């Protein structure tokens, strides 16, 4: 891995203000982040949103640096978001999808990672169907691993963009005491898992809601959480009662219901799920009048969310997509070490 | 959508001559274009061909602007043509093919368009199997929609590159009174549909020829046209008689015959089509000695066109491909509003 | 094809030293290269490695030039290597894989090549399953064809990166008299075929080893070679005796064993191949203590090579991958004619 000379990087802030220190070589889950580091990511994202508001939304911060996206699961929106973020910072992007490539031709993940590094990859954005795969990648990769979602485990950039979007929409940008409800397939959701960490760290009053089969094990987890297992984190609540969950909520997030769950016997039918848990205008009347509606996408409109809710004035779903590019720019920038080089302390 | 400051755009013409005004936010079919606007596209294409003749075929006109190609039907040549055009203008390109992506994962077209806009798309080049889909996209998209072909409906960039290629090859660049013959599967051809509009506007004597099953409904359309339904447009002729069509033609265009038509019962066999309608050297002796041969590609050589005709001196088929890049550069440039900014009137 | 003005190209060497002359328009196999030309490629690769060692690994040498990769067989690592090489030289890259494209939609290879040229391709990197296909491409293409592997025939960039890696690791960078052993499926290997030429030209004592069914015809070839059929080239040896092959070897290269060979009846089973020919630590004790281990990748670990050997200190397998980018940069640079323009003789 090469070290980037300060000259190669532009200072992001006009004032050159020190944003704080970043010490992680990889980002595989939000659970390694201190609150100060989360704040650093949020403020760096602010800077990136400033860049996106310019007529030419591109800065040379990562000029000549190599970002490789390696997607073992298809996800056009997430891949395009990362690649747009990388290009906005002038990085060179190599894009590999196993669906259309030969990387799986009997080759082990470890060999693939070593090969990509030898081909020049410096930051590896990885999505993999197996929980924990990015940890293995990080062990052998000489550069930086940024997790784009692994199995049911984690989706840190989604959790961070969700957090950023909530702060942007809540008065004072403060989640403390705010009721945040996540409704849907909690069991299989890496989005929910990563959000549990960051939202309890932010002090939210977090509620997870869905059919009992899609909440399995969550109550024990919630109990451990409140038992002081994680210092500084608030507890979270688990319920199958959609009305209790939505009542006086500040934030309501729907999760995608996947057709495959029917086959696994976890849901009787899409129609029954929709009847009991769909985010409808009627149900949302239980929430606070100013409550916002979120969804990580892609949506199954008419299943977990009603079409009119998805496009209503309280929906911030496309805002989430736009913030996703800014958050990913911030993380690529911080991981690349560009941050320290640009705004390191002048003297010690 | 951001507005581009003049400083961000180079002036294309050395003299800064005003080329004319462009008022369309989208281009979904040629039928919205006045003749003056078609002339503007033709002259802008001239400028773009000048750029393509330089050793380094790249200008910064759309530097930092975002072009997204969204192809619901596979078409490598059209996609590469648009992407090359966009890169020649220094735009950033995001390329999405549904064949290799997850965009269709239950998500509606409207949601996909909204997501792409939130990801930063400014100009959306779209190909879709359903006629009219780009109109729906244009309703929800905040930027510019450029139709790369929709169902049987329209293929405006193909019609414009065909027109440009004809003008380049006809004495005086004038189509008025010139006999232009399109032979093949007229019924299912968006190329033919868009060409009907632009060629009758250009004053050509247009002939459409093919088996009766592939001409269905065209004679009524031709009759309406000549009845003054479209002011300023010449009439066109429909015939199953290939010899009448080719006699004294100035331009002969073959259309691709698709194997699927056999299954639909519209054609008895490829062999029979070839025997009756293939563009052969013998048949082309009926046309004018200087007549040119065109084809939108990809060709089924030996079906709609004989191999020796496709590569003969009168074939301008690869010229069409090269002009396609220039026409698409012109349209991206005009749609991006770069034109006005660069050569706007200095005082009013 | 446009000619590149010297001004458009940076001089690669700080001193502007003349590296030698390059006269080939295409590179389809190594068998057209004189030893002086191979040396030119090796020295140009040295320069490219110097660029890759910089913090920003990018030079403007091919700025605005068009490299198109056309892969009729999937090979992510080779495609990414070529594309990274092209981008490192600031070329614009168009990437076409037939697996995910419509280029085969009944269109002939010749038409595809003509179309890509009309779309702007200047250097065509091509991989094709049919031996000799790049020769056909070179006949119709107005630019430069660089073979990325064709059938069982040739893989010149792999042979050159192998040669480069051996020179880098052998004392004095000299292969003369060094025992080089290639073990595996020689019969179907374009890597072996191209390596036979370059390694015998380099004066190596070359040994090919594998089961008799995967060596068919090789002994007659080896005999012709030693009969003086190719002036200046050393002979090579063919054996089924893995121990004789490995004894006192300086370089040991494993080739991928493909599962398809089982179905063709050429191998009884993967397990039997592994038992008799796998490169294991035990077998490698027969080689010289300082012998290096190579593999073109992707590896079937546990079949042709033991996992501990692949990652041992003597393995230069990831070095091969890194050198592949540098060699491909060198070849793109030389083919583009950038070389002559940059360091042509000032006076004659």
Residues C153-182 pLDDT 10s: 999 999 999 999 999 999 999 999 999 999
pLDDT at B156: 98
C-alpha A205/C-alpha A180 separation (Å) is 6
What six digits make up the tokens of C209? 């080893």
Query: Hey, is the C-beta of A103 within 8 angstroms of any chain C C-beta?
Result: yes
Sort out which chain A residues have CB atoms less than 8 A from B94's CB and list them. 80, 83-84
C-alpha A75/C-alpha A89 separation (Å) is 22
Statement: residue C341 has pLDDT above 90 = no
Distance from the Cα of A74 to chain C's closest Cα (Å) equals: 14
How high is the mean pLDDT of chain B? Answer: 88
- The H-assigned helical ranges of B21-75 are 35-52
* Closest to A125 measured CA to CA, from A137, A111, A140, A109: A137
Instruction: Convert the pLDDT of each residue in C79-136 to its tens digit.
Output: 999 999 999 999 999 999 886 555 555 678 999 999 999 999 999 999 999 999 999 9
C-alpha A277/C-alpha C340 separation (Å) is 70
ipTM > 0.85 for the complex: yes
Yes or no, beta carbons of C102 and B74 under 8 Å apart: yes
> Which of B57, B320, B324 shows the shortest C-beta gap to C64?
B57
Sort out which chain C residues have CB atoms less than 8 A from B58's CB and list them. 64, 92
pLDDT at C347: 27
Instruction: Convert the pLDDT of each residue in B128-152 to its tens digit.
Output: 999 999 999 999 999 999 999 999 9
Closest chain A residue to C303, measured at CA: A106
Helix, strand, coil share (%) of chain A residues, nearest 5? 45, 15, 40
Query: Hey, is the C-beta of A9 within 8 angstroms of any chain C C-beta?
Result: no
Yes or no, beta carbons of A76 and B101 under 8 Å apart: yes
What residues in chain A have per-residue pLDDT under 50?
1-17, 341-348
Statement: residue C348 has pLDDT above 50 = no
The sign of the dihedral angle between the CA atoms of A329, A330, A336, A340 is positive
pLDDT at A343: 34
C-alpha B216/C-alpha B289 separation (Å) is 31
Statement: residue C207 has pLDDT above 70 = yes
pLDDT at A172: 94
What residues in chain B have per-residue pLDDT under 50?
1-17, 341-348
Sort out which chain A residues have CB atoms less than 8 A from B341's CB and list them. none
Distance from the Cα of B66 to chain A's closest Cα (Å) equals: 9
pLDDT at C232: 79
Residues 52 through 81 of chain B touching chain A, CB cutoff 8 Å: 63-66
Size of interface A-B (CB pairs under 8 A): 81
Distance from the Cα of B197 to chain C's closest Cα (Å) equals: 26
pLDDT at B347: 28
pLDDT at C99: 66
> Which of A57, A74, A297 shows the shortest C-beta gap to B115?
A297
pLDDT category, C150, cuts 50, 70, 90?
very high
Query: Which of A95, A298, A325 to mutate to test binding with chain B, by most B CBs within 10 Å of its CB?
Result: A298
Distance from the Cα of A106 to chain C's closest Cα (Å) equals: 6
Sort out which chain B residues have CB atoms less than 8 A from A318's CB and list them. 114-115, 117-118
Statement: residue C18 has pLDDT above 80 = no
Query: Hey, is the C-beta of B5 within 8 angstroms of any chain A C-beta?
Result: yes
Residue at token pair 């030309």: C37
Yes or no, beta carbons of C300 and A63 under 8 Å apart: no
Residues 123 through 182 of chain A touching chain B, CB cutoff 8 Å: none
What six digits make up the tokens of A328? 């990913």
Q: Which residue has the higher pLDDT, A316 or C2?
A: A316
Are A147 and A30 spatial neighbours (Cβ–Cβ below 8 Å)?
no
> Which of A4, A114, A120 shows the shortest C-beta gap to C325?
A120
Touching subunits of A (3+ CB pairs, under 8 Å) are B, C
pTM: 0.90
């Amino acid at each position: 891995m090469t070290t980037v000379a300060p000259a190669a990087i532009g200072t992001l802030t006009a004032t050159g203000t020190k944003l704080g220190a970043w010490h992680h070589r990889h980002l595989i889950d939000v659970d390694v982040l201190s609150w100060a580091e989360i704040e650093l990511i949020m403020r760096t994202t602010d800077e990136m949103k400033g860049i996106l508001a310019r007529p030419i939304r591109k800065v040379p911060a990562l000029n000549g640096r190599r970002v490789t996206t390696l997607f073992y699961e298809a996800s056009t929106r997430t891949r395009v978001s990362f690649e747009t973020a990388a290009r906005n910072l002038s990085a060179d992007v190599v894009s590999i999808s196993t669906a259309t490539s030969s990387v799986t031709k009997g080759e082990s993940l470890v060999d693939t990672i070593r090969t990509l590094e030898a081909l020049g990859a410096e930051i590896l954005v990885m999505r993999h169907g197996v929980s924990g795969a990015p940890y293995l990648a990080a062990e052998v990769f000489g550069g930086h691993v940024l997790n784009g979602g692994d199995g049911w485990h984690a989706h840190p950039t989604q959790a961070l963009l969700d957090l950023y979007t909530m702060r942007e929409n809540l008065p004072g940008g403060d989640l403390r005491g705010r009721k945040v409800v996540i409704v849907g397939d909690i069991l299989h959701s890496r989005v929910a898992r990563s959000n549990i960490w960051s939202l309890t760290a932010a002090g939210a009053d977090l509620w997870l809601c869905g059919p009992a089969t899609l909440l399995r094990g969550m109550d024990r987890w919630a109990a451990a959480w409140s038992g002081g297992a994680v210092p500084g984190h608030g507890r979270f609540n688990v319920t199958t009662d959609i009305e209790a969950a939505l009542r006086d909520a500040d934030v309501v997030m729907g999760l995608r219901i996947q057709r495959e769950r029917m086959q696994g016997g976890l849901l009787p039918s899409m129609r029954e799920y929709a009847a009991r848990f769909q985010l409808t205008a009627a149900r949302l009347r239980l929430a606070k009048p100013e409550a916002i509606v979120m969804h990580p996408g892609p949506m199954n409109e008419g299943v977990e969310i009603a079409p009119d809710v998805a496009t209503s004035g309280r929906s911030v779903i496309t805002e989430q997509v736009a913030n996703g590019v800014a958050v990913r720019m911030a993380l690529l920038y911080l991981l690349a070490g560009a941050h320290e080089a640009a705004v390191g302390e002048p003297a010690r």
